[in-house]
Amino acid sequence: MPLFTEELGIDLGTVNVLVYVRGRGIVLQEPSVVAQEINTGSVVAVGEEARAMIGRAPETIQVRRPLRDGVIADYRVTREMLAHFINRAIGRFRLFKPHVMITVPFGVTQVESRAVRQAAQDAGAGKAYLIPEPLAGAIGAGLPIHTPGGHMVIDLGGGASEAAVLSVYGVVTSAAVRVGGVRIDEAIAAYVRRKYNLMIGQPTAEEAKIRIGSALPLEEPLRMEIQGRDQVSGLPRSVEINSDDIAESLEEPLTIIVGMVKSVLERTPPELASDIIDRGMTMIGGGSLLRNIDQLLTEETGVPVYVADAPMACVAVGAGKSLARVNILQRTLSEL
């Protein structure tokens, strides 16, 4: 066993948890889902194993996400989930407690910050630092935010979406809305229920989003068959939906995200705004993988939008890399 302290960057998301280990890269990407027995409260399954139980578990087992909108909704379950993922990433038996950098949404309260830090320490971390998600994402995407110039990141996560303008390792202006992958899945399920009288679960809606989803109508629509329960007869039934259906169902949540991006641009100081027009905006997070969402934002704002390489990994990678810059980032980190 190596005689040094492991350094971990953890993207603690509402939908997924990613763990970056310094020197090894992303070592774990699992759903932030926990299954527990209702009577005893004991944890039965965590991550992918628990997610497979959504909508399929017996009444004695409750399957849930212990995080809501990027902050802890259930402290005990979050602690157990974190301990499970840390052990999976670096092994259960170690000489030294790891140093951990955990991401949180920008603007979380002191109480929420303290809960995340305490959960990490109780889960086996030695030193636990917190970093705002937009800042970690920008570092992970390779943006030169150490310079006095404007860089804008749009982070489309599972529970919330954030946009922030960064300069000299700090957040100049930002905004967040509680619309992310989960709300988008719900919008798809609600649309299918209205249009086709078919009840579908969250996993089916998510699969449709990934396989045929688009923020704008496509020239040649993609199609897929989905199964669910007929609202009238109550019997199983399948229908074919296409990417135009998905684009129509996403109008409301995407309008909210566009409005958030515009509000940040409106509050950006003029000098930084001119930098952003020149450099464009960088999209990170799983939501940026939705087809044509960069094109939609470019059309709506008039500013070029680019999707980062490996957008889902950016926040975890940035959190891990920022452990080497704790002294430089101290001002931003101490505000949490």
pLDDT score, position 324 = 87
Q: How far apart are CA 311 and CA 99, in angstroms?
A: 24
The two three-digit tokens of residue 274, written as one number: 């001119």
The pLDDT tens digits of the residues spanning 23-53 come to 999 999 999 999 999 988 889 999 999 999 9
Contact 36/43 with Cβ under 8 angstroms?
Answer: yes
pLDDT (0 to 100) of residue 85: 93
pTM of the model: 0.90
Q: Which of 3, 21, 16 is nearest to 321 (CA)?
A: 21
In the chain, where the domains are located: 7-135+316-334, 143-179+251-310, 181-249
In this predicted structure, the answer to whether residue 246 has a pLDDT above a threshold of 90 is yes
Please say whether the beta carbons of 282 and 141 come within 8 A: yes
pLDDT in tens, 72-85: 888 999 999 999 99
User: What pLDDT, on a 0 to 100 scale, did the predictor assign at position 107?
Assistant: 80
> What is residue 51's predicted lDDT score, i.e. its pLDDT?
92
What's the pLDDT at 2?
43
CATH topology match: 7-135+316-334 vs 143-179+251-310:
yes
Q: Are 190 and 198 in contact (CB under 8 A)?
A: no
- pLDDT (mean) for 243-267: 96
pLDDT exceeds 80 at position 331: no
Q: pLDDT confidence of 336, banded at 50, 70, 90?
A: low
- The 8 Å CB, 24+ separation contacts for 113-119 are 113/336, 115/71, 115/72, 115/75, 116/12, 116/71, 116/72, 119/72, 119/75, 119/78, 119/79, 119/82
Query: Taking residues 298-313, what's their average pLDDT?
Result: 96
Q: Does domain 143-179+251-310 have CATH number 3.40.50.720?
A: no
Give the mean pLDDT of 152-159. 94
Question: Is 313's pLDDT higher than 50?
Answer: yes
Q: Can you tell me the mean pLDDT for 269-273?
A: 94
Confidence of residue 334 (pLDDT cuts 50, 70, 90): low
Residue 3 has pLDDT above 70, yes or no: no
The CA distance from 88 to 82, in Å, is 10
Tell me which CATH code domain 7-135+316-334 carries: 3.30.420.40
CATH number of 181-249: 3.90.640.10
If one counts every other C-beta atom within 10 angstroms of the C-beta of residue 43, the result is 17
Average pLDDT over residues 297-314: 96
With beta carbons less than 8 A apart as the criterion, state whether 36 and 77 touch.
yes
Q: How many CA atoms lie within 13 A of 326 on its CB side?
A: 13
Three-class SS of the chain = CCCCCCEEEEEECCCEEEEEECCCEEEEEEECCEEEECCCCCEEEECHHHHCCCCCCCCCEEEECCEECCEECCHHHHHHHHHHHHHHHHCCCCCCCCEEEEEECCCCCHHHHHHHHHHHHHCCCCCEEEEEHHHHHHHHCCCCCCCCCCEEEEEECCCCEEEEEEECCEEEEEEEECCCHHHHHHHHHHHHHHHHCEECCHHHHHHHHHHHCECCCCCCCCEEEEEEEECCCCCEEEEEEEHHHHHHHCHHHHHHHHHHHHHHHHCCCHHHHHHHHHHCEEEECHHHHCECHHHHHHHHHCCCEEECCCCCCHHHHHHHHHHHHHHHHHHHHHCC
**Chain CA centroid to CA 100, Å:** 18
